[in-house]
A and B are shown apart, each in its own frame.
Chain A
Amino acid sequence: MSDLHAAPAAADDVSWSQWKLIRVKFGSHKLALVSIWLLGAFYLVALFAQFLAPYGTWQPSPYAYAPPTHIHFFFHGKFVGPMVYRTRIESDPETFERHFVVDASRPARIHWFVRGASYRWLGFIPSSLHLFGVEQDAQLNLMGTDILGRDCFSRDLIATQISLTVGLIGVFITFVLGCLIGGASGYYGGVVDNVVQRFVEFVTCLPTVPMWMALGAAIPASWSNLKVYFTITVILALRSWTGLSRQVRSKLLEMREEDYIVAARVAGATDWEIILRHLLPGFASYLIVNLTVEIPRMILGETTLSFFGLGLRPPTVSWGVLLQDAQNLAAISTYPWLMFPACMVVVCVLAFNFLGDGLRDAADPYKE
């Protein structure tokens, strides 16, 4: 019995499956490991943002430009758990200064699972439950507030939803179109290749900037910002798959003559099976790099598009939009907490790059 059990284990030691090889290789890339956890956390935050945020995105308060609230654990020397002090805003019309006066006699406990601003989770499940919060008359602003008195922490969290997702759709469309069209072109060659390549050349010729500007004028003004941005990402994706498709094509042209492809064909595999199962995995490492570079590019692209007046604008909340508020001197010198989304962008883009790095190494586990 024991021999029978031991045998496969021993076999495992000498011959690991492809997936195991990839896992082990990836595990040895420490930065990539940290990155994948980080990105996982980011996406979890995005998924539950409204629940994690103590306030709604647009919930205004009279506390304009309030600095981050201090959290205290002791009241009169006794441990009472996390709490904040109530503050009062005093604005001086002579010096145009706002003072936040802390009233140390009136603490407010931080409660867990409280009812607050109502929202629709995932767009359709109505709820008003928040992970934590304080009473109505107290303020808990972990990241301070902006000029309209809105809670920056809540806005930072909710912004991850747009920033981490909308770009992905564009990347996804680019990736699918690039692989399929490039794959078909490279694999079949001949007339198909000729037609596809001429079409690719045509698409590549469309100038981007005038196209964006034309789109900016053509899209109905009554569309919501998000819809406009989404449309533009999709259209940009429909324009940008050509680069990837060319690379896929040339790679396939090279690989389709390899012996193992001929073998597969002899064994009776269909064309699509050969492309998807034998050819594409052959240069997966390349595709992964392309993908992981493309995602942060889309995230950064959000801010670039704003420059043309085509990106997101308030009332939509995204990292780019939040950073627009921080583009001034006062944000740097007086309200530094407005700059926090910049850190999120940097961390996120780096994480994607490290992840790509790790995945590329892992996808090609035999390479030293």
Chain B
Amino acid sequence: MDGRISRRRFLRCATAASLVTMSIRPGEAGGEASGQPVAQPPPGGKYREAPMLAARVAAGKLPPVEKRLPAVPFVRQVAQIGRYGGTLYDQAESPGGRFHLDGTLIVAAQETDNQGRVIRPHLCDVVTATPDFRAFTFHIREGMKWSDGVDLTAADVLWWWWNEARNPTIFPEGPRTFKVGDEYAEFTQLDRLTFRIAFREPFRPCLNLSASEYMAFGTYFGQPAHWMKQFHAAFNPDADKIARQHGFAAWYQYYMMVREYMHPVINKPHVAPWVRVASTTTHDIYERNPYFFEVDQEGNQLPYIDRLFVQVVEDERLQEARRATGSVSEGICDMSQISIFIKNAARGHYSIRHWHLADGSECMFAFNLNHKDPVKRKVYNDLRFRQALSYAIDRQRINQTLYFGQAKEWQATISPSVSYFNPVWISYCAGYNPARANQLLDEMGLRRPANELFRLDPDGNRFVSVVVFNKQTFPDELLEFVRQDWAQVGIEAVMKETDFRYREWLCRAGNQDCTCWNADMVEEISAYLPWVTKWNPQEVLFYAIDWWLWYYSQGKSGVKPPQEWIDQFDRMAAWYSARSDAEYEQLGRAVWDFFSQQLVCIGTVGYAPQPVAVTGGLENVPENVHMGYGTMWAKSYFVQTYFWDTPEKHA
């Protein structure tokens, strides 16, 4: 009975779903050769599985593959049909910690491609939105299972929402996602496999959320309730005891430990291609998930490779040395050490692919527009100052020296692949023009006395700006280039490296002069998530924290921003509740026009080359990839389709 209803629902929803999918991706579909799903299930509905699992089926330890896959598995088009077996090698800093390929463990309701432009159903096969984008309905694939064989249902999502996300003991401040203004979304279970998320205000980015890690099952979203209950005091009176056995003081501390997947916990039911089966101080082992819901176009269950072996290597330099000697199957090559990788390629049995980073700017600088010191505040708020500092940066020199001329000498802005993109944004004040910079600074009254290196502030005092930063993907030399370029036009900057937390404390309190970060999350999908865009004044760069506070407390605290900024905040709010594609594009363009003209983030170079060393014999590795937080690292290039040409050599 259930089945019939959901089939009817399926037919009804499918049209709507395709409409939504179309509407979020104006422009052409992503034209990748590999990884693109096909609508057609394999001929005959016959599925094949890895020999490793076949043995377990034969021994009666596992149901047959047809019983393990959902009724309609997700079919992934692969460039080459792979061979089963073998091991992928990677490394992490700590047991259960992040590794290069870990993005592949993110499995969300929907998925996106490597361009960040397409949203398509993944774990949920039908996703619909009401025309006003207030309510979103998600239908989980029929027969979808956790890696221990238990059904994954809408109840898991509801359990997660009420017992984890909204539990005041676990999250005293409540979740930031699924919240518009002060109002939480309303989660409702419609039937066994369908749930609805309804917002009070229209909230179009929910579709983008569904393809991001914020809706990654088994980590930040729906949890395996049947397994998590044992660690939750409301369901297990002994939860505290279990926590103490693991060295934690209280149940909710240990619960936090097991909730997130990138922690050293084993056998947690999950939906990823591989699940962690061993975690020791020296290595983690991830083995194929027998219930993984993807097949290739010929009906072979993915992934092709049996396991991931993640060596724990604490030292960063040792990690680099291991990458350079081919100890990992796929590893990034540090641009400043690239000569080592080239030299060792033959001996380490790897070849180098020319991939790129997905960051619109390797490093962008944001001056504090709400500075506590009135003199500095006045200077930083002067658009001419920010324009001058942008003109002063010799982007070509940075590009030639650090990136072999392979990066883009563009202003920091969102990706050109975004539908509402305006090409003016990338060239705005991006040309090297120290004369113009000097002229602008002179006009502002920042005088440079004769025989002095640096300019004085309008009151005639020493004018020095401290740029606080913490270690990032960009090389330190980049900051040195910028410091020199600014010194050339008489602006004294001190680049001060601090601890990650300290930087955040300092900036959250609005006590910084300037800080910098890379411009990630710039793709169509990710740039629309309100709390991750680096241009949001209360995120990461914290360039106008008091204005934002004023706006969101409706004038109760903070500092009243100029009218143009109030308009911009209004515009952003309107954009996030856009109801039509036309409105979405028009407001999007207006929002980013303002950010661009205001030049709140001064960019350096973007889309830098990121060579990657790939071990010989590893197939289905894409030729070009944009890697970054915005494309969820390895998530968007589908590591589950990788295979070894001779799996027995890589056991």
Q: How far is the CA of A315 from the CA of B343 in the complex (A)?
A: 31
Residues in chain B near residue A95, CB distance under 8 A? 342
Contact check, B400 vs A62: say whether CB atoms are below 8 A apart.
yes
Question: Does B338 reach chain A (CB closer than 8 Å)?
Answer: yes
Known A222-B464, A224-B494, A309-B497; judge A62-B343 contact (CB<8 A).
no
Known A91-B405, A93-B406; judge A328-B496 contact (CB<8 A).
no
B483 CB, min distance to chain A CBs, angstroms = 7
Question: Does A79 reach chain B (CB closer than 8 Å)?
Answer: no
The tally of residues in B whose CB lies under 8 Å from a CB in A reads 36
Residues in chain B near residue A327, CB distance under 8 A? 317
Q: How far is the CA of A96 from the CA of B404 in the complex (A)?
A: 7
Residues in chain B near residue A314, CB distance under 8 A? 476, 480, 495
Q: How far is the CA of A309 from the CA of B502 in the complex (A)?
A: 13
B344 CB, min distance to chain A CBs, angstroms = 9
Interface residues of B in 443-484 (CB under 8 A from A): 464, 466, 468, 475-477, 480-481, 483-484
Question: Does A64 reach chain B (CB closer than 8 Å)?
Answer: yes
Contact check, B324 vs A329: say whether CB atoms are below 8 A apart.
yes
Contact check, A93 vs B480: say whether CB atoms are below 8 A apart.
no
Q: What total count of A-B pairs have CB within 8 Å? A: 72
Contact check, B337 vs A330: say whether CB atoms are below 8 A apart.
yes
Question: Does A149 reach chain B (CB closer than 8 Å)?
Answer: yes
Question: Does B401 reach chain A (CB closer than 8 Å)?
Answer: yes
Contact check, B466 vs A222: say whether CB atoms are below 8 A apart.
yes
Interface residue SS majority, chain B: helix
Residues in chain A near residue B480, CB distance under 8 A? 148, 314-315
Interface residues of B in 317-337 (CB under 8 A from A): 317, 320-321, 324, 335-337
Q: How far is the CA of A79 from the CA of B636 in the complex (A)?
A: 64
Question: Does B340 reach chain A (CB closer than 8 Å)?
Answer: yes
Q: How far is the CA of A147 from the CA of B336 in the complex (A)?
A: 8
Question: Does A334 reach chain B (CB closer than 8 Å)?
Answer: yes
Q: Mark A181-198, 1 if CB is under 8 A from B, else 0.
A: 000000000000000000
Q: Mark B398-416, 1 if CB is under 8 A from A, else 0.
A: 0011101110000000000
Of A58, A148, A333, the residue contacting B343 (CB under 8 A) is: A333
Residues in chain B near residue A93, CB distance under 8 A? 404-406, 609
* Closest residue of B by beta carbon distance from A63: B401
Q: How far is the CA of A58 from the CA of B402 in the complex (A)?
A: 17
* Closest residue of A by beta carbon distance from B512: A221
Interface residues of A in 40-98 (CB under 8 A from B): 58, 60, 62, 64, 91-97
A91 CB, min distance to chain B CBs, angstroms = 5
Contact check, A315 vs B468: say whether CB atoms are below 8 A apart.
no
Question: Does B15 reach chain A (CB closer than 8 Å)?
Answer: no
Residues in chain A near residue B342, CB distance under 8 A? 95-97
Residues in chain B near residue A251, CB distance under 8 A? none
Q: How far is the CA of A30 from the CA of B188 in the complex (A)?
A: 89
Nearest 9 pairs of A and B residues by beta carbon: A96-B338, A334-B339, A221-B466, A330-B337, A93-B404, A222-B464, A91-B404, A64-B401, A329-B340
Give the interface of B toward A (CB within 8 A). Answer: 317, 320-321, 324, 335-340, 342-343, 354, 397, 400-402, 404-406, 464, 466, 468, 475-477, 480-481, 483-484, 494-497, 609, 611
* 6 more A-B residue pairs beyond the given contacts A91-B405, A148-B401, with a C-beta to C-beta distance below 8 A: A96-B338, A221-B494, A314-B476, A329-B320, A333-B343, A334-B339
